[in-house]
Amino acid sequence: MQRRHFLKTTLATAAAFPAVLSAQEAKPKKKILLRSSWQTVNIGDIAHTPGMLHLLEKHLPEYDVTLWPSSVDNGVAEMLMKRFPKLKIMGKTAAEKEEAFKTHDFLLHGSGPGIVGQKHLIEWKEKTGKPYGIGGVTWGYSEEGLQVINGAKFAFFRDSVSLALAKSKGATCPIMEFGPDATFACDLVNDAAASAWLKEVGLEEGKFMCCIPKLRNTPYWEIKKGTKFDEKKHARNEEMKEHDISPLRNAVIAVVEQTDMKMLLCPEDASQMKLNKEMIYDKLPESVKKKVVWRQDYWLTDFAQSVYNRSAGLFGNEQHSPIMCIGHGIPAIVCRYKEQTSKGFMWKDIGRSEWLFDHDYDEAEKGLTPAVLAIAKDQATAKAKALQAKAVADDRMKRMMDVLRAELEG
């Protein structure tokens, strides 16, 4: 009798089990709307998006993702689709936005210089009542921004200064932590093109370093249509450019004269090819110029990443090219100043304080050249330090994805 009951129960359970699986398989996937892609005149601003897409692909592969961009022109859309062929990119029409708001379950604000899509988070909340989160931003106080943070399910700040500011202003978001810029996870590459170009200009893998200058204020009036000339910012740029770029030039000269390395002067944004020539290349001794390559053209993120991956390291006044380097285990030095906000302090947060210099305190003038030479002369030690920093960033980015998963599943 017991055997007959067991068989009957077992057969009934087996018959029901496929139905359970079928119901689970039929359950629609939750959909994530990623607000990102702020502009395309800077390879770092481009890199935010593929970095976050890579994290979502790696840690939450079962969820559908739609990108809500500000700009994916200049070949960026094609580059993203090549790497993420299943990606959906939302268009600019009101109907497409309405459909996205209706069909998506969570709005994720990607990495950026601030809560760039702040008004869209507010719009999302007001129109849908659905949850949103913030992933890897620098933040400067505003009352509206504080309310947006308070309304988020989580807020990850890409530097501890921003996190401390939010806490000091009484932010009540339930999860607020350090979460690095998603650019650390960018894995776009264009190896064939990069290798061909490096061969063309005479740079060998592991035998050159990269340098990127930057003005106090990006001259968007030179590179972005519709941007008006800013006399005050231009004047500040002219006042400080020799002060901020001469330490880079001195380091370039030292690398060429004291090591067997060559130097590549390259851009992060579309204004810096001209700046490299004016402030570094044209001012070099003729004997040094022979071992320095000046890149005359702007490049996209995948090409730049492949070049950085073949270098011995990078230094300069920019932030995102160093992030792209550390994300691939390449040593990188950041020189900051107050006009860049607090983002540079993330180098302390990932454990690389010795690779962070502050022009406002003349730290770069005093310490940049020795730090660059140390990388050039002891690549094994520098590489190990870069990988340590990468591990910290990877761990914190995984934490961000774990929090997002918990919210989606909850």
**What are the pLDDT digits (tens) for 163-199?**
999 999 999 999 999 999 999 999 999 999 999 999 9
* 347 and 244 co-located in one domain: yes
Closest CA relative to residue 111, chosen from 157, 54, 170, 61: 157
| One domain for residues 86 and 209 | no
Look at residue 21 in the predicted model and tell me its pLDDT.
Answer: 41
Same domain, 196 and 70: no
**What is the tens place of the pLDDT at every residue in 210-232?**
999 999 999 999 999 999 999 99
Sheet holding 31-36, edge to edge: 88-89, 64-69, 31-36, 106-109, 132-137, 155-157, 176-178
Residue 5, pLDDT > 90, answer: no
Decide if 160 is inside a domain.
yes
Looking at the fold, whether 267 and 297 belong to one and the same domain comes out as: yes
Q: Is residue 327 part of a domain?
A: yes
Q: Of 13-27, 228-242, 270-284, 337-351, which range is least confident?
A: 13-27
Residue 3 maps to a domain: no
pLDDT at 19 over 80: no
Please tell me whether residues 217 and 284 are part of one structural domain: yes
Co-location of 227 and 161 in the same domain: no
pLDDT over 60 at 102, yes or no:
yes
| CB burial string 153-185: b at 16+ within 10 A, e below | bbbbbbbebbbebbeeeebebebbebbbbbbbb
Is the pLDDT score of 20 beyond 80? no
26 has a pLDDT exceeding 80: no
The total domain count for the chain is: 2
Distance from C-alpha of 194 to C-alpha of 198, rounded to nearest angstrom? 6
- My answer on whether 208 and 152 are in the same domain is no
In a domain? residue 11:
no
Averaged over 83-94, what is the pLDDT? 96
Residue 330: its H or E element? none
Quick one: average pLDDT of 108-137?
A: 98
The verdict on residue 136 lying in a domain is yes
Q: Where would I find the beta strands (DSSP E) of 41-99?
A: 64-69, 88-89
> Does residue 387 lie in a domain region?
yes
**Same-domain pairing of 80 and 200:** no
- CATH at residue 380: 3.40.50.2000
- Contact, 385 vs 331, CB < 8 A? yes
Rounded to whole angstroms, the Cα distance separating 291 from 257 reads 9
**H or E element in which residue 227 lies:** none
d(CA 97, CA 146): 25
> What's the CA gap between 359 and 241, in Å, rounded?
11
**Distance (Å, whole) CA 245 – CA 95:** 48
pLDDT class of 410 with cuts at 50, 70, 90 = confident
1 within domain boundaries: no
CB neighbours of residue 347 within 10 Å = 24
Q: Are residues 60 and 141 in the same domain?
A: yes
Please provide the average confidence, as pLDDT, over all residues in the chain. 94
120 and 229 together in one domain:
no
Same domain as 157, residue 229: no
Q: Are residues 346 and 212 in the same domain?
A: yes
Residue 101 pLDDT = 98
Count of residues in the chain: 410
Task: Tell whether 257 is covered by a domain.
Answer: yes
| Residue ranges making up the domain that contains 321 | 191-392
Does 19 or 295 have the greater pLDDT score?
295
Higher pLDDT, 64 or 3: 64
Task: Give residue-wise pLDDT tens across range 345-386.
Answer: 999 999 999 999 999 999 999 999 999 999 999 999 999 999
Give 27's pLDDT tier (boundaries 50, 70, 90). low
